[in-house]
Amino acid sequence: MCLSSFSAKINLESGANTADLPAKSEKDNLSVWDYNKVIGYAMIYSAFEEIPTDDITISFVVTPKPIKLFDHLINGRGFEVDEVSNGIYYIKGDTFKAQIIESKRLTAEENVFLKNLRSSLTKMDIQEVFEAYKKYKRLEKVNIYLDRVLGANQSTFTKYP
């Protein structure tokens, strides 16, 4: 099992009716075509659900920084790509508000769950995830997350007794 190199989520300002889109392998990069496909899905979602485009935000969580995509968005489309925090980029100029989150660059203190949503965790990373979860009470979401993280990092458990 692997976690995604990128996943995409369409978020509504109201917080209701969000849509998760299929994730890709860690070996894949977020390409121009992937970005355009998600923008297209969001446009269709907006049209069928009659939701204004201003009420939709698209979030991508990536493992490697999508350098070719950023180059295309800046130089090919004339958009702005602003890094607003370590590993968090806002795309300005497209139809929808969009953000790209480079999980490896997130600060652990503020983003322990997103930062560790990958399949290359160390034993210390996994311990950090468990410690952070001790603070939360919503176990149904915890179990889904932990299942994905642990399944994707089985080799870590065989390396360290």
Span 103-118, pLDDT tens digits: 778 776 767 666 666 6
DSSP state of 10: E
Q: Tokens standing for 54?
A: 């201003």
| Element housing 118 (H / E) | none
CB atoms within 10 A of CB 85: 13
Cα distances (angstroms) measured from residue 69 to each of 31, 39, 152: 6, 14, 26
Q: Is this prediction's pTM over 0.85?
A: no
β-pair type (19-25, 4-12): antiparallel
For 71, the token pair is: 């180059």
Tokens 């089985």 — which residue? 154
Which of 15-24, 39-48, 98-107, 149-158 has the least mean pLDDT?
A: 15-24
Which position has the higher pLDDT, 121 or 100? 100
* Three-state DSSP class for residue 124: helix
Euclidean distance between CA atoms 139 and 109, whole angstroms: 21
Q: Are 21 and 41 within 8 A, CB to CB?
A: yes
Task: Select from 48, 47, 4, 45 the least CA-distant residue to 22.
Answer: 4
pLDDT higher at 63 or 1? 63
For residue 25, give the amino acid letter. S
Residue 3: the pLDDT is: 35
Average pLDDT over the chain, rounded to an integer: 75
Q: Which residues pair with 92 in a beta bridge?
A: 80
